[in-house]
Chains A and B, each alone.
Chain A
Amino acid sequence: MSALLETRSLSKSFGGLNVTNNVDLAISSGDRVALIGPNGAGKTTLVNLMSGALPVSSGEVLIGGDTVTHMSQQDRAHRGLIRTFQITRLFESMTVADILRVAAVQKHKAGLKLRWGRARTDLVERDVERVLADIKMQDRRDSPVTLLAYGEQRLVELGVALVMQPRVLLLDEPAAGVPQSESHIIMDAIERLPSDLGVVFIEHDMDLVFRFAERIVVLVNGGVFATGTTDEIAANDDVRAIYLGEADE
């Protein structure tokens, strides 16, 4: 079976700066892959290339075996690829429930519909309620999102992705900016994701990485520096020297 998401010799440069270097990755159903690497290693850029937010310089992106290298973000989303943002991007004029509703409306391809109707309302509201429960924000449903604490906004950012029920989920530092005391809500929600989903998450907290990842990809200067199971990476001296050592300081 072909991988849910694959990159082949993926490269990106900004001017003369090579930010992504010949990256080969394959994400299969059920994968839990942590993407780690120092700041500026090119992790977010890689997510941008896979999701279609940025055009590639060379190489290919495939979803379910089909080349999507030149497809829009929108079309990749329809193929089941959803990403979240390192810096929260929510619809700032809206309440929590409406933001989730926007996602649910897109999921059910109802963005151009002029009527809610009973059936569509049911579908959309079921998604909204499911996710509000998942991120434990039922009591915040009617809060304008700009009035939430940043940690709560991170939860909503994750919630938007959960509404979509993707096949592959790319999480760019989902817990960044969330107080330690609340990061378990994010991690619990990630842990409850359907087991057949392919998940790639960028994370700096090595405790979280070792707890949730089965496989780790270490990115340095835009290239894959090492890849392996959590145990292999933990035992890899080069990785320790370059990355883990640095993170421990």
Chain B
Amino acid sequence: MTNLHRSIGAAAVIPLAAVALALIFPNQQAFLAQIAITALVVLSLDLVVGFAGLATLGHAAMYGAGAYGAALYALHVWAEPLTGLIVGGLAGATIAFLSALMLMRSHGLTFLMMTVAITQILYEIVNKSRAVTGGDDGLYGIVMKPLLGVFEFDFYGRLAFWYAAVVLWLVFLLLRHIVASPFGLTVRAVRDDGDRVATLGGNIFGHRVALYTLSGAIAGLAGALSAQTVQVVGLHSLSVTFSADILVMLVMGGAGRLWGGLLGALVFMMIHHYAAEIDPVRWMLFVGAILVAIVLFLPKGLFGGLEALVNRLRGRAPA
């Protein structure tokens, strides 16, 4: 298989999976849209956790900024979806950039604590700014104009799903390109040994800020998609709890690989959906048990495990 074939194959996975999911779950398109949006935010988290090696519990700050930004824009400025998406991305990037200036000189536990602190400060600001943000009632009554002026958002979430899936697909293709770029290579080097990159003349701080801002922009896109398709934005989108949830999804799927984030979001959301239907009270126990099993038996997550399995079936030694 040539690199070109592999690239085309990889690019086809998301569209094919989207069609398959739409056929298998014809009456659950709104749920599928949620999966695509969640996959997008997990993908953005993977940039920080997997590629830059920075464990964070504050990723919701950017997702929430995108959600509130897009919601306010739709309510007060213009309910056009694509410009709203851009507003969400910019909101996420802005929060990420400003917090990166504070965050990116710290490491490890200090970094982790600061991500929590920044998220909680933002949460409280939004919570207290009731007049603008609706406080703990959130923002609702978001009614979007047709996408591209043509496609109406429907009650069943059909358009929502395809809209989210296309954005996810485009971002995924962009990230595949970026991860393989000089910037992506340097980011991984900084993760492995930042000081060593500095001895070669690399600007560690600059790299981290740029990466965090990029990640924040994507998280902001996801937040905007959520606001536009669910039509409600609540404080949960800005919470440390949500940050932890998406971190769990990433670890389940496999951090450091773009596929890992996608798989993790899909599996987590499916388990959540069905386990919560069977037992709405204790479904988190299922998730916990599965997570423990993955951490113990599949240190590289579901995707790492899948890859090892495929390699074994092909009779190749694992890389």
A89 within 8 A of B: yes
B177 partner residues in chain A, CB cutoff 8 A: 114
Out of A92, A101, A106, A113, name the residue touching B201 (CB < 8 Å): A106
A91-B193 in contact given A73-B198, A74-B201, A77-B198 (Cβ < 8 Å): yes
Given the interface pairs A93-B188, A98-B185, A101-B185, the reply to whether A112 lies near B196 with Cβ below 8 Å is no
**B198 and A72 contact, CB distance less than 8 A:** yes
Which of B34-42, B108-116, B202-210 forms part of the interface with chain A?
B202-210
Query: Closest Cβ of chain B: how far from A12's Cβ, in Å?
Result: 18
Do residues B192 and A74 form an inter-chain contact, with CB atoms below 8 A?
no
Total residues of chain A contacting the partner, CB 8 A? 37
Asked whether A224 is an interface residue with its Cβ less than 8 Å from the other chain, the reply is no
Nearest Cβ on chain A to B212's Cβ, whole angstroms:
13
Check A89/B193 contact, CB under 8 A, given A74-B201, A74-B202: yes
Q: Is the CB of A106 within 8 A of B193?
A: no
Q: Are A111 and B199 in contact (CB under 8 A)?
A: no
Q: Mark each residue of chain A from 129 to 167: 1 if its CB lies under 8 Å from any CB of chain B, else 0.
A: 000000000000000100000000000000010001000
Kindly state the separation between the CA atoms of A51 and B185 in the bound complex, as whole angstroms: 24
B186 touches A94 (CB 8 A): no
Interface positions, chain B 193-223, Cβ under 8 Å from A, are 193, 195-204, 206-207, 210
Query: Is B189 close to A, CB under 8 A?
Result: yes
**Contact A103 B200, beta carbon cutoff 8 Å:** yes
Closest residue of A by beta carbon distance from B199: A73
Chain A residues in 8 Å Cβ range of B203: 74, 111-112
Q: Quick check: A91 and B200 within 8 Å, CB to CB?
A: no
Which chain A positions have C-beta within 8 A of B207?
111-112
Q: How large is the interface on B (under 10, 10 to 19, 20 to 34, 35 or more residues)?
A: 20 to 34
Distance between A70 CB and nearest chain B CB, rounded to angstroms = 15
> B274: CB under 8 A from chain A?
no
A106 to B194 Cα, complex, angstroms: 13
B171 to chain A, nearest CB (A): 14
Q: Contacts A114-B177, A114-B183: A107 and B201 contacting too (C-beta < 8 A)?
A: yes
Whether B201 and A77, one on each chain, are in contact in the complex, defined by CB atoms closer than 8 angstroms, is yes
A105 within 8 A of B: yes
Cα(A101)–Cα(B183), bound, Å: 12
Whole-angstrom CA separation of A85 from B199 in the bound complex: 10
| A88-137 at interface with B (beta carbon < 8 Å) | 89-94, 98-99, 101-103, 105-107, 109-116, 120, 124
Seed contacts A93-B191, A112-B206; 4 additional CB < 8 Å A-B pairs: A51-B199, A72-B198, A102-B186, A111-B202
Which residues on B are within 8 Å of A, measured CB to CB? 177-178, 181-183, 185-186, 188-189, 191-193, 195-204, 206-207, 210, 319
- CB-defined A-B contacts under 8 Å, sample of 8: A74-B202, A89-B196, A91-B192, A101-B185, A102-B189, A113-B182, A113-B183, A164-B201
A residues contacting B by CB (< 8 A) are 51, 53, 72-74, 77-78, 82-83, 85, 89-94, 98-99, 101-103, 105-107, 109-116, 120, 124, 144, 160, 164
